[in-house]
Amino acid sequence: MYTSHEDIGYDFEDDPKDKKTLKPHPNIDGGWAWMMVLSSFFVHILIMGSQMALGVLNVEWLEEFHQSRGLTAWVSSLSMGVTLIVGPFIGLFINTCGCRQTAIIGGLLNSLGWVLSAYAANVHYLFITFGVAAGFGSGMAYLPAVVMVGRYFQKRRALAQGLSTTGTGFGTFLMTVLLKYLCAEYGWRNAMFIQGAVSLNLCVCGALMRPLSPGTDGDDPEGKEPHVLPAHSTESIGSSGQLGGAEEKGGGPGTEDSLGDVPAQACHEKAAHRKDMCAFRVLKTVSRLTMRIRKGFRDWYLGYFGTASLFTNRMFVAFIFWALFAYSSFVIPFIHLPEIVNLYNLSEQNDVFPLTSIIAIVHIFGKVILGVVADLPCISVWNVFLMTNFTLVLSIFILPLMHTYAGLAVICALIGFSSGYFSLMPVVTEDLVGIEHLANAYGIIICANGISALLGPPFAGWIYDITQKYDFSFYICGLLYMVGILFLLIQPCIQIIGQSRKKYIDGANV
């Protein structure tokens, strides 16, 4: 959906034989491409990092509004879920306006959501201002950051994506410390107001998303303004038409009177010409905008609803099912760990070095190390992906058994490292559907992750409201996560059995 010949880093030039030849773009894998990595890195800090640090604000909201944990958790989960769920629909804005404009608008909307949330009178108000408004703005800034890195890199795409997504870990660590400090010094309302101002930096990140070529990213393909004919002056009128005829006559009766009417007639014609050109410009602009919207909607529709072959790929369908349960197991600890620490009377130790910060820091190293290991020629990406998933599930099961800070810190480190498989998801998705369907397929996976992030934290809160323990929340989420992994393991076996059966039947018929 997002990929064109400009997007993948090649420009078309006319040769002397009027044939189309490919020329590598100078910024591919170098030059401004690293500015895209830097921009995407800060987008991950400001968006994903802030969302992973919402556990700090969740504690403040529980104390302020005195609502159930399940209801309060909806605020954080809405923000996370909406950010990812709207991913496929943000493609419509990208196709119509381009990545740069989409990211800038998203930064403004995200900042507005933070600021309006500072005046919340109840949790339901936060659902709209923070969950929906700020979440939608986050989605508008997040997806262009991922897409632009993919457009600017070919050979080093995995490295570039890995470096940019480490912003999530750095952001979680930094934003957790920042929000804790702001809430302690100024209160949570002023903290959200200040965070809204900080989020305006998303607009700066969006401004750095320069398209590869003039025709890319929704700009005018020709890169030129419409040519406007110059307005006629009194001299040009005098050299032709009625004025010229009057001069050629050289003097007869009424010549001086006609000359006296020329300035007024010229001004009238000039004003009329300007009105016509203004109307022409408006019509041309409206026509271009209409065509751009229609083309953007057509590309978006064909990109998602025209690729029915994606859903005939059973392995990809199993991958979607896995994504529906996987992300919640990573999100739930970030949202509920600060309160779990309070329940275990470990607040003093956690204030020195928060457990969520441990997850964030180790998560950075996990992404880099797992990316390097997966690139080794003797290692299968799928094996690394599945092993880290099993490690994460095991950590989720063990977490409720730990009641000391040291034990929780070890498990959080395992969660942070094993969750580094997120950097492998684009590679795994490409193996399943091919490079031509990667953008569409990954958008669907992100949407499934968004549903998981949307439902996971409230579910954990509701389980606590019923049982007065978080233990069952982790056990149930771990079981569902395990079911998703089993789908990934069983589906290849089913395919092998089906292929063997088909070969047997074909051999018997021969």
Is residue 289 located within the same domain as residue 353? no
Please name the residue ranges forming H helices in 166-254: 167-186, 188-199, 201-207, 234-238, 241-248
Q: What is the pLDDT of residues 115-163, one digit of tens each?
A: 999 999 999 999 999 999 999 999 999 888 888 887 787 777 767 777 8
> 197-201, 269-273, 360-364 — which is least confidently predicted?
269-273
- Indicate the pLDDT class of residue 363, thresholds 50, 70 and 90: confident
Q: Does any domain span residue 399?
A: yes
Q: How far is CA 432 from the centre of its chain?
A: 22
Is residue 314 located within the same domain as residue 440? yes
CA 177 vs CA 41, 191, 390: distances in Å: 19, 12, 30
Last residue of a domain, one of 306, 341, 359: 306
**pLDDT attached to residue 491:** 75
Q: Does any domain span residue 244?
A: no
Is residue 298 located within the same domain as residue 175? yes
- Indicate the pLDDT class of residue 301, thresholds 50, 70 and 90: low
CA 209 vs CA 12, 32, 84, 141, 147: distances in Å: 22, 9, 20, 11, 10
**pLDDT attached to residue 127:** 93
Angle in degrees, CA 435, 436, 441, rounded to 5 = 80
User: What value does the mean pLDDT take over residues 465-483?
Assistant: 86
Q: Hey, what are 403's tokens?
A: 């009641």
Q: Does any domain span residue 299?
A: yes
User: What value does the mean pLDDT take over residues 217-225?
Assistant: 39
**pLDDT attached to residue 394:** 93
In angstroms, the CA 174 to CA 32 distance is 27
Q: Does any domain span residue 78?
A: yes
Mean pLDDT value across the chain:
77
Higher pLDDT, 345 or 95: 345
Is residue 298 located within the same domain as residue 364? no
User: What value does the mean pLDDT take over residues 165-187?
Assistant: 88
**pLDDT attached to residue 232:** 40
In angstroms, the CA 266 to CA 249 distance is 20
**pLDDT attached to residue 225:** 37
Domain count, the chain: 2
Q: Does any domain span residue 445?
A: yes
Is residue 388 located within the same domain as residue 293? no
**pLDDT attached to residue 133:** 93
Last residue of a domain, one of 242, 273, 306: 306
CATH code for the domain in which residue 287 is found: 1.20.1250.20
pTM score, two decimals?
A: 0.67
Is residue 108 located within the same domain as residue 126? yes
User: What value does the mean pLDDT take over residues 3-12?
Assistant: 38
Is residue 78 located within the same domain as residue 193? yes
Q: Hey, what are 110's tokens?
A: 């995200």
Q: Hey, what are 3's tokens?
A: 């990929």
**pLDDT attached to residue 264:** 65
CB 216, CB 101: distance < 8 Å: no
**pLDDT surpassing 50 at residue 238:** no
Is residue 295 located within the same domain as residue 418? no
**pLDDT attached to residue 505:** 66
Is residue 294 located within the same domain as residue 386? no
Q: Does any domain span residue 245?
A: no
**pLDDT attached to residue 260:** 52
Is residue 43 located within the same domain as residue 164? yes
**pLDDT attached to residue 288:** 75
Give the alpha-carbon dihedral of 262, 268, 274, 278, to 10 degrees: -170
**pLDDT attached to residue 240:** 41
**pLDDT attached to residue 244:** 43
Q: What is the pLDDT of residues 368-398, one digit of tens each?
A: 888 778 877 788 888 888 999 999 999 999 9
Is residue 339 located within the same domain as residue 317? yes
Q: Does any domain span residue 262?
A: no
Higher pLDDT, 256 or 444: 444
**pLDDT surpassing 50 at residue 231:** no
Q: Does any domain span residue 11?
A: no
Is residue 329 located within the same domain as residue 187? no
β-bridge partners, 20: 14
**pLDDT surpassing 80 at residue 3:** no
Which range marks the domain in which residue 188 is found?
26-212+283-306
Compute the half-sphere exposure of residue 141: CA atoms within 13 Å on the CB side of its CA. 33
Last residue of a domain, one of 306, 337, 357: 306
> 95-99, 255-259, 350-354, 463-467 — which is least confidently predicted?
255-259
